[in-house]
Structure 1
């Protein structure tokens, strides 16, 4: 049975949860990197999960184009980037994945196919586990929303993208403040949220007449919210599906991000192949010593 960890876990509860996880998956504080692998994944609807299973071949398609996610059934499910980091940090047998821009010193990123997970390697194309950060533009993209988007895509906005550890879009266009005012809501991907919060903070300093509210959920919810007019701008850490764009929304890439494959800092493993990641997440490899 899947174990779902909630975002709003207080520190004491989190510590208890990690202990419980260890007892059920032979994984936590007393284990080493030769035992059973604790597979940690994201929830369905997560753009990070969608990109991860596609890039590593965990997702398969039949002849009609129908997709199947082959992630093992007993994978532990986390519903945000922050909880993924906390879970891997607290479980010495764990393997997980997060946005490269959210990588913290409390966990260790593995080299994939001999390449370090870094912004520079994503730029060069040597680290191939990368995906777009998109904004989703729907029926409620008003004048204030358009002005904020202009800021995001400007030279000033893309400097923030680079500063926060993502690959920026090429642009030489400077932002020019408009007379837009009011309140806009941005909702969606938990991977995009930290960057969007930085962009919103900087934007409101140059246009204090607009208030930007950023709400964290997941990519699919962000796309749906933009489509239905629940929010002004959606956030998605994956490309949109045809059936989503057929409903009248458009996407715009604001940055490129790598996906880091992470393990506990005490794990002796330092690198992995794409094939090994695929086999771990589909249940073909179950123990760390099978990687040696």
Structure 2
């Protein structure tokens, strides 16, 4: 008898749960009542700041362009990113962290944007290719490659390909080409190996350039080592790689002994969780969030 009663209760519970599930659509709206049961974003909650590691070209460009980097009394540049920020070592972990926390805010290359997060407009300007190219979107930076002045034949040929019509078309699939009127590739397709190292932001487009180049020059071997911009420039300087990648302009202290070249333009998008109701933020408030002056979402007007 007890088993029959227990079974009956279990059946009733299951039916009630099923009815509850069916009464709500994917957006949280109750089909019967028309009311939305989806949890509303609580703007009184604390902002979870997500940043990149020191040495990251994305971080270097971001703190400079937003004014987070300031000069101290001795004229030295100081990164004022809040100590409470969560530091992530790669672009994909920033995306994952923000996608998994509705109160998080971070920043990534516009070429890395996914539908798991939402990119904010800055002072009313969206981070689109057109706005980055015409200069109206202010958080943008160049992608650079750096080499010694004397490079191998294969290294020279690969760079020629990157800056050719074909190479810039590869760049434009995800980023913004430097030269829309580049000449077609006319290289000699030599054999040899190239080691490319540096920025995790530049790495995805460099991998696509490698793939496209190897299709026309199967005699080449290209190894890509992902790290950050500072490490890439140091490797090029030390000669441990042939091409260093940097997702920012080179510093004066890094230029000695190297030649550098812009291969693409890229914006840096300020990203939030899709559940967040914010759509636009001022450049001034971006600074206040990432320096810790603003600590709650309700601070952002």
Of 212, 218, 226, which aligns to 2:228?
218
Of 234, 238, 244, which aligns to 2:254?
244
Cα offset, 1:264, TM superposition: 0.6
Query: In 2, Cα distance between the equivalents of 1:215 and 1:32?
Result: 42
CA deviation digits over 1:146-169, x for unaligned, max 9?
Answer: 100000000110011111233432
Runs of 5+ unmatched residues, structure 2: 1-38
Query: In 2, Cα distance between the equivalents of 1:196 and 1:165?
Result: 11
Q: 1:201 to 1:40 in 2, by over 3 A?
A: same
CA deviation digits over 1:226-259, x for unaligned, max 9?
Answer: 100111100000111111112x012100000000
Of 259, 262, 266, which aligns to 2:268?
259
Q: 1:66 to 1:177 in 2, by over 3 A?
A: same
**Normalising by structure 1, what TM-score?**
0.87
Query: In 2, Cα distance between the equivalents of 1:65 and 1:154?
Result: 41
Query: In 1, Cα distance between the equivalents of 2:213 and 2:97?
Result: 33
Cα offset, 1:30, TM superposition: 10
Query: In 1, Cα distance between the equivalents of 2:125 and 2:151?
Result: 40
Work out whether residues 109 and 260 of structure 1, in 8 Å CA contact, stay in contact via their aligned partners in 2.
yes
Work out whether residues 141 and 233 of structure 1, in 8 Å CA contact, stay in contact via their aligned partners in 2.
no
Cα offset, 1:194, TM superposition: 0.3
Q: For this pair of structures, how many residues does the alignment match?
A: 263
Cα offset, 1:63, TM superposition: 5.8
3-state SS of paired residue (2:142): strand
> After the TM superposition, which parts of structure 1 deviate over 3 Å for at least 4 consecutive aligned residues?
29-34, 62-65
Structure-to-structure mapping, 1:56-75, within 5 angstroms = 56-62=66-72, 64-75=74-85
Query: In 1, Cα distance between the equivalents of 2:162 and 2:52?
Result: 27
Query: In 2, Cα distance between the equivalents of 1:275 and 1:192?
Result: 27
Report the equivalent of 1:17: none
Cα offset, 1:31, TM superposition: 7.0
Report the equivalent of 1:10: none
